[in-house]
């Protein structure tokens, strides 16, 4: 569904019905699409009227949130990737090879992302390549921290979560957002340590936070730094 804004542009919005919900709630997702959560029996017409009443708020939010960006667009301004607790310079090259890949150059200080020049979907291939690096890099980093802390995880998944940086299942599986390779090494480590702490404490109790403070003595600083950039980073790869 679409709604016209006062500047003549239009914005799409998605109606999501929730069982047990009592109120209507409007929010923006990380594609800058309006999402209205409504009670199960709420009609589309009623949802539209609600969004129209919130038009001023919606326009103010759209004016202030970061825009969705492609990965290539992001690297044009921020040519860096994080892995192994370090920050690498990124160079993008076209290649005659049939398959995208990455190599290290400059004595290991630079990552070269090589994308086939005959690709019909450059953005899609480029995004898949960055996610492949993210899987490789974070598997090594999680294993490194787990070994140091004498912890065991069952598996690692690197996914395209819409808003979460990571999660840990009761079976010991850890899931991380691929965008963690775009943030500073200490922030990537903070998220990894946060999820590893859940292997011992599957909650956010005082014991959990105390444990995480042991793993990351600067965790409060890192939380604040991550919160400050989340809105922007979560919109990368969504254009």
Residue 89: the pLDDT is 97
- Residue 115 vs residues 22, 86, 98, 127: alpha-carbon distances, Å: 49, 23, 9, 10
Alpha carbons within 13 A on the beta-carbon side of 133 = 25
Residue 14: the pLDDT is 87
| In a domain? residue 239 | no
Query: Which range marks the domain in which residue 54 is found?
Result: 2-64
Check whether residue 105 and residue 171 sit in a common domain.
Answer: yes
Check whether residue 58 and residue 88 sit in a common domain.
Answer: no
Contact 115, 92 (CB under 8 A): yes
Residue 223: the pLDDT is 97
Q: What is the pLDDT along the chain (239 residues), one digit of tens a residue?
A: 676 777 777 777 888 898 888 889 998 887 788 888 999 989 988 988 898 888 888 888 888 888 899 999 999 999 999 999 999 999 999 998 889 999 999 999 999 999 998 888 989 999 999 999 999 999 999 999 999 999 999 999 999 998 899 999 999 999 999 999 999 999 999 999 999 999 999 999 999 999 999 999 999 999 999 999 999 999 999 87
Report the distance separating Cα 85 and Cα 139, nearest Å.
12
Beta bridge partners of 104: 111
- The kind and range of the H/E element at 207 are helix 206-215
| In a domain? residue 238 | no
Check whether residue 194 and residue 148 sit in a common domain.
Answer: yes
Residue 120: the pLDDT is 84
| In a domain? residue 135 | yes
Task: Name 181's Cβ contacts closer than 8 Å, sequence gap at least 6.
Answer: 81, 82, 83, 130, 133, 134, 137, 138, 188
Check whether residue 137 and residue 43 sit in a common domain.
Answer: no
Residue 98: the pLDDT is 86
Check whether residue 50 and residue 75 sit in a common domain.
Answer: no
Residue 57: the pLDDT is 85
Residue 86: the pLDDT is 96
């Amino acid at each position: 569904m679409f709604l016209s804004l006062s500047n003549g542009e239009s914005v799409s919005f998605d109606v999501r019905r929730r069982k047990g919900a009592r109120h209507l709630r409007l929010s923006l997702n990380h594609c800058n699409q309006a999402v209205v959560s409504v009670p199960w029996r709420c009609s589309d017409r009623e949802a539209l009227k609600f969004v129209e009443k919130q038009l001023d708020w919606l326009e103010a939010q759209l004016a202030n949130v970061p825009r969705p960006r492609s990965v290539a667009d992001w690297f044009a301004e921020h040519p860096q990737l994080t892995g192994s607790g370090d920050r690498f310079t990124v160079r993008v090259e076209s290649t005659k090879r049939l398959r995208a890949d990455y190599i290290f150059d400059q004595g290991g200080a630079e990552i070269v992302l090589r994308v086939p020049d005959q690709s019909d979907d450059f953005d899609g291939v480029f995004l898949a390549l960055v996610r492949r690096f993210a899987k490789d890099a974070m598997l090594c980093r999680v294993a490194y921290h787990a070994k140091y802390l004498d912890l065991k995880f069952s598996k690692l998944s690197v996914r395209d979560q819409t808003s979460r940086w990571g999660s840990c299942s009761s079976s010991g599986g850890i899931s991380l957002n691929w965008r963690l390779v775009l943030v500073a090494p200490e922030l990537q480590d903070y998220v990894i340590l946060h999820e590893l702490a859940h292997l011992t404490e599957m909650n956010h109790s005082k014991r959990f936070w105390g444990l995480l403070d042991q793993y990351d003595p600067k965790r409060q600083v890192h939380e604040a730094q991550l919160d400050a950039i989340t809105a922007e980073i979560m919109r990368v790869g969504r254009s």
